[in-house]
Structure 1
Amino acid sequence: MKKIGLLPRLIIAIILGILLGTVAPEWLVKIFVTFNNIFGNFLGFAIPLIIIGFVAPGIGDLGKGAGKLLGVTALIAYGSTIISGSLAYFTGTTVLPKVLHLSSLAVDAKNPEEALLAPFFKVEMPPIMGVMTALLIAFTLGLGMAVIEGDTMKKFLHEFQSIIEKLISNIIIPLLPIHILGIFANMTHAGEVAAIMSVFAKVFVMIIILHIAILIIQYFIAGTFFAGANPFKLFKTMLPAYFTAIGTQSSAATIPVTLKQAKQNGVDDGIAEFVIPLCATIHLSGSTITLTGCAMAVMMINGMETTFASMFPFILMLGVTMVAAPGVPGGAVMAALGLLQSMLGFSDTLTSLMIALYLAQDSFGTACNVTGDGAIAIIVNKISGKKLQPKENVSING
């Protein structure tokens, strides 16, 4: 099963869930619902740990680097992420009400007997702290490490981050297809799967178009205003990184290819070797588009309000919380679960739907992230006083 990628496993799980919900007896569906309840509670327990494990080391690592250049790169990356999320919001506000059946899934997740099957039993797994407490601890530790540049706490938190990465890659991600299967079996049994599948298809198309649009904007700015080069030629050179990321679903795993293509575009070797690895952890324009679009779709079909006043703070926090999300599929949505619950009011059921919707598009968000890193490298290259010097042949190791 490990040889099959996460996206194919997710698709298989959705199909099996729909079939199971259509033909299986109620007791069999309730077995999966019980598993979902246990898995969902475990996920809730893990969320504060995931936040601390991701955010604190990521912020702490920003203390190292090239001073002013580090700040400039981080500011550009964060600005790009916020603009991308805002673009997704305004597009979603215009497009989604026209293509989705609003409030078509407006069920009270606290009383699933009304529409969804309840589990045979529940196992409570209360988290050790609240989401906001975890965020505040992560910010405090991360900023503190960046200031004092101490090694002891940094080493501890990096080891803790490794534990959380193993938790996600070895337990949470492998069990997600079963979790998704149970969700769709329960939704189908309750007669609500048509609304969900409608959301999947329509949101997917909107988000892919937004990814392409933000990349064109990024390269138009980088090429026209900073490099004085053809933006479409610069974009075309970065396409190998885009398609590599679709396969790896990991910004970190794609770094060698992104670096090679950025250098081929003419970015100075030293600038590229600094900016590309840094942006692989802090530039998340594609993931932010995907998360914002998916969150709005889930909220709209559940009759929840999606005002700019509620969504913009969520977008601002996404840009920080997803910093240093691990190089595993689904890392960004795992880091964002706490925000979905604390800022947007997502229940366990809605969180599960969000995971399914996001993971179906995760590879394209990652591809947008890493391709955009090439545009930021071009901008930083110009700010550093260097000119693009395109190269024909660059080895993948630089």
Structure 2
Amino acid sequence: MHLAAFLNAGPQGTAGWRHPDSTSSFLRAEHYLRVARLLEDARFDLAFVPDSLAVPRSLGGSFDPAVRYGTGTPRLSPIPVLAMMGAVTEHLGLAATGSTGWAQPYPVAREFATLDHLTGGRAAWNVVTSFQDAEARNHGAEALPGRAERYARAEEFLQVVTKLWDGWSDDAVLADRETGIYGRPEEVRALDHEGERFRVQGPLGVPRSPQGRPLIVQAGASPAGRDFAARWADVVFCSHESLESAVAFYGDLKKRVAAQHRDPDQVRILPAATTVVGRTDSDARAAHEAFADLVHPEAGLSRLAYHVNVDLTRYDLDGPLPPLSEVGVDGHYREVVEFAEREGLSIREIGRWYGARTEGDMVGSAATIADTMEQWLEAGAADGFMVQATHVPGAFTEFADAVVPELRRRGLVPSAYTGGTLRDNLGLHRPERGPA
């Protein structure tokens, strides 16, 4: 069972910053250094920092709710945060979100190759295509392109980035002081890519990194997103409202990976698990109820509107959620529909639930949470979990102190890191250098 940690470089969720066991110092380096050490001591494989390139304006067309309640903002740039976390750890993987929607392949390839070198092979790139119109308006456009165009751009983007990463052979650098020869130019190749969306000459100005290529993380749940993940992803992050939907997703994605002539065992699927740990199950339920009381109802609606990229105020908030044809995060929308239909909720009630929801039904004692995780693993729903904290660092501390020892006692997680790179610790092969 592989463990990753979902860590905002900013306030955690809708009310995590209000919790008495949270820290308000997320604008200071010390916060991230403390969390990094905590996660490595607990033998987490990966720390995952999401990102967006806009302050959300999805509720009522204003950034007021996002700023007022800290939903989706503020948010620091993840690469400097992860670089500092990498400096105080030796094994913890470091994943940053980066959008293909507005960037160019060369600087992205350079940035993640650099992070991989500086951390000894622990870098990962969470590839997103963006889902907020507010991001478009920060980059000279009025609205996002359609999903098909966004994924077509991402496809060419990945083709370019991976070829840039493969531009240097593993033995291209000699650094021979006696002869004065640093590198072998015959082992470095230009790219000379001229595609529909990008023209990139290359080669990359960074030698091949310790992992060969930094890991690719992907979280698309739409059919286009699943196909993209099947072609490119090493790790897939997902979120489900039920074990049944998680099993269906897991099986579907592994089949898509095989259809791309890739080994399904070389792709790790990590569903979200928002844990609330108590000494007993009733203690945990009480702790979750206390947390839910901290969530302002409008904050939950703001978070939901941000994720689906739809202004929910255009509908009757006391009525049901109507079908939405084009949404931002397809996976979250599917979860909301599944839960709302089952419980018969209005939009306002969905927002209240969404603001304090715990993905994976992970509220309970350490033994109960371990039981649920083991059940998901054995049912073919997960290769591990993306642990999401209701508040930081308190919730990660509780998980590390109580749940990890229980998982270790059951032989589900190791007591020590087994490899030198992130790929090693996830049991993933180092990719061969691709053809020119």
TM range, normalised to the smaller chain?
A: under 0.3
Higher helix share: 1
Relative contact order higher in (CA < 8 Å, ≥ 6 apart): 1
Q: Which has the higher strand share?
A: 2
